Chain A
Amino acid sequence: MARWLAWWRHPEFQLGLREMAAVSPGLAAWGLMTGVAMVKSGMSPLEAVAMSLMVFAGSSQLAAIPLIAAGAPVWVIWATAFCVNLRFVVFSAHMRPYLMHLPLRWRLFNGYLTADLSYVMFTKRFHHPATDAVGQRNQLAYLGGGSFFNWSSWQIASMLGIGLAHSIPTNWGLGFAGILALLGVGCSLASTHFAGSRPGLLRWQRSRHLRCPSSSISSWPLRRQSPCA
């Protein structure tokens, strides 16, 4: 208990919470409409609650819902979800060096909870995996804060959607707020160091150049072919 409390109080955990809170209206609207979609497809409330709590992946849930309703072959449903989730496989390659210092069960715990937005915000904040215990703890705390907020707001909104399925009109398109949340996060990625504009890119390379003598360079093979290597 004390250990969880220490994580909760960690400044990076709190920062992760706050940064995720900024996109919560989008997340909530998306979770809400996923909840509504599950019930309207004919799932029982119990099935819908189980799906939300266990599957915890909006896009693969939305892909699977009509297939389940149509009684498609099980392997087709699972294969569809796998294809929709392929981006997570790429994310896991990116996250690997950040998490390999953990035992398997905690890697699974963190990996399972790292959805799109937690991943994007985490890799935006930390460009290199930490090499010391303090840095690793900071990174894990930030990831945990973001994932925790993401998970809770998604689940609360999804449960509301399940409960209120028959009084929320789907044709209003409230779920579009989720896309706008991703758009906002995408814009903030584009305007930081993944800049499409030359000045942004040059600024990024210059700042990397200045950082080169630091030990962090050798810690991440990605950077070995940087302009100063």
Chain B
Amino acid sequence: MNPSAMNMTDGWTLGVILGLALVTLVTRCFFFLSSQPWQLPHWAQRGLQYAPIAALSAVVLPEVVMTQGQLITTWLDARVFATVAGAAYFFARKGQGQAVLGTIVTGMAVYLPLHIGLGW
């Protein structure tokens, strides 16, 4: 897309989007596209129970401790404090009730003043 075509619809972009939708469909359904009987080996099945937490860590960690693909070099980063505050709230509540909601609210209550106010 060239700058003169800013915010104009073009067929190329729509085609790319259609392809991206297919990528979503294929990756999310990858292992149940085929109806053939098929079993994962034991070790892989055992490993899968750690997949949710591994995936979450892999998404969350870089978003907290990296900037532009570089590890942050300062502790004066709003994201670090917000993450610690959010997790602290969660474990203080022992995960009961609306602990996840509280994690988001507490984290943002720490994040926004530090980020907008102090520029961390």
What is A's interface to B at a CB cutoff of 8 Å? 22-23, 25-26, 29, 39, 42-47, 50-51, 54-57, 59-61, 64, 68-69, 71, 74, 77-78, 81-82, 85-96, 99-100, 104, 107-108, 111-112, 114-116, 119-120, 123-124, 127, 172-173, 176-177, 179-192, 194, 221-222, 224-225
Name the one of A60, A77, A177 contacting B108, with C-beta atoms under 8 angstroms.
Answer: A177
Contact B16–A77 (Cβ < 8 Å): yes
Contact B108–A85 (Cβ < 8 Å): no
Q: What 10 pairs across the A-B complex have the smallest Cβ distances? A: A184-B103, A184-B100, A111-B29, A54-B21, A85-B27, A180-B107, A186-B56, A88-B27, A222-B45, A44-B9
* Contact flag A71-B2 (CB < 8 Å), given A88-B27, A116-B55, A120-B56: yes
Interchain nearest-CB distance for B92 vs A (Å)? 11
Interchain nearest-CB distance for B99 vs A (Å)? 7
Closest to B78 in A: A173
Contact B27–A86 (Cβ < 8 Å): yes
Complex interface: chain A residues within 8 A of B78 (CB): 173
Contact B116–A51 (Cβ < 8 Å): no
* Contact flag A96-B31 (CB < 8 Å), given A172-B112, A180-B107: yes
Contact A22–B100 (Cβ < 8 Å): yes
Interface residues of B in 62-99 (CB under 8 A from A): 63-64, 78-79, 82-83, 86-87, 90-91, 94-95, 98-99
Contact A68–B59 (Cβ < 8 Å): no
29 contacts between A and B (CB under 8 A): A23-B101, A42-B5, A43-B13, A44-B13, A50-B14, A55-B17, A55-B23, A55-B24, A61-B20, A77-B19, A82-B23, A85-B24, A88-B30, A89-B30, A108-B29, A108-B33, A115-B28, A120-B55, A123-B52, A176-B108, A180-B83, A180-B104, A182-B59, A183-B87, A187-B87, A187-B95, A187-B99, A188-B99, A189-B52
Name the one of A23, A74, A95 contacting B15, with C-beta atoms under 8 angstroms.
Answer: A74
Contact A43–B7 (Cβ < 8 Å): yes
Closest to B116 in A: A172
What is B's interface to A at a CB cutoff of 8 Å? 1-3, 5-10, 12-21, 23-25, 27-33, 35, 39-40, 42, 44-46, 48-53, 55-60, 63-64, 78-79, 82-83, 86-87, 90-91, 94-95, 98-105, 107-108, 111-112, 115-116
Q: Report the bound CA distance from A187 to B95 in whole Å.
A: 8
Contact B95–A22 (Cβ < 8 Å): no
Complex interface: chain B residues within 8 A of A94 (CB): 48, 51
Interchain nearest-CB distance for A90 vs B (Å)? 5
Complex interface: chain B residues within 8 A of A190 (CB): 53
Complex interface: chain B residues within 8 A of A43 (CB): 1, 7, 13
